[in-house]
Amino acid sequence: MFKMKMLVIAVCMLASISGNAQDRYFTKSGKILFESKAPLEDIEATNKTVTAVLDKKTGAFQFALSMKGFEFKKALMQEHFNENYVESDKFPRSEFKGSVVNNSEVNYSKPGSYPVIVKGKLTIHGVTRDVVANGLLKVTAEGVRAESTFNIQLSDYDIKIPAVVKDKISNTIKISVDAQLDPLKS
């Protein structure tokens, strides 16, 4: 009888895990582009190894990336970004944890583009701030494409710009997220 009970519990747990996985979409090859326009210089960098998970049932959305994964065109800019600005050795990862506020308006079984509002906590440089952003979920037969663009202020994340170039480098950074999410198989 005890063995039977244990078997039933194990089957229920497996079914639960399997169900959770099937409700989720994921990627490990998401893209995040950041851009800064300023009088001294425009700064642009791309990270092509962003990991993200979206739970279609709850609307929970999470992404994370390594700060050293950003690729710049100019070598000196990449060096300054990692060593002086975001201190990548000390704060190697950035993460967003939040949810799609209007998830009930997204029909994951019907292909189409659904405007969404994403709300959550963004951690950069060891500082966590609340973020609200507009985005788009494009549902296709293959999965879901998540797109969003929003601005952050460097000063909000305790990222200091050297005084000598303070007036010439923008405090506002535009972040663009583009992730093709595939169904997560259990």
Residues that bind another protein (CB under 8 A): 21, 24, 26, 28-29, 31, 47-49, 51-53, 55, 60, 62-69, 71-76, 78, 92-93, 178, 180, 184
Q: Which is nearer to another protein, 82 or 171 (CB)?
A: 82
Q: Which is nearer to another protein, 67 or 131 (CB)?
A: 67
Please report how close the Cβ of residue 171 comes to another protein at its closest, in angstroms: 22
How many CB atoms neighbour CB 12 within 10 A?
10
As a whole number of angstroms, the distance between CA 19 and CA 186 comes to 8
Please report how close the Cβ of residue 39 comes to another protein at its closest, in angstroms: 16
Please report how close the Cβ of residue 62 comes to another protein at its closest, in angstroms: 5
Please report how close the Cβ of residue 83 comes to another protein at its closest, in angstroms: 12
As a whole number of angstroms, the distance between CA 155 and CA 161 comes to 9
* Nearest alpha-carbon partner for 28 in 4, 11, 53, 54: 53
Tokens representing residue 115 in the block: 């405007």
Q: Which is nearer to another protein, 123 or 156 (CB)?
A: 123
Q: Which is nearer to another protein, 155 or 162 (CB)?
A: 162
Amino acid at residue number 72: F
Please report how close the Cβ of residue 54 comes to another protein at its closest, in angstroms: 9
Q: Buried (b) or exposed (e) across 138-151, using 16+ Cβ within 10 A?
A: ebeeebbbbbbebe
Q: Which is nearer to another protein, 72 or 156 (CB)?
A: 72
Q: Buried (b) or exposed (e) across 43-54, using 16+ Cβ within 10 A?
A: bbbbbeebbbbb
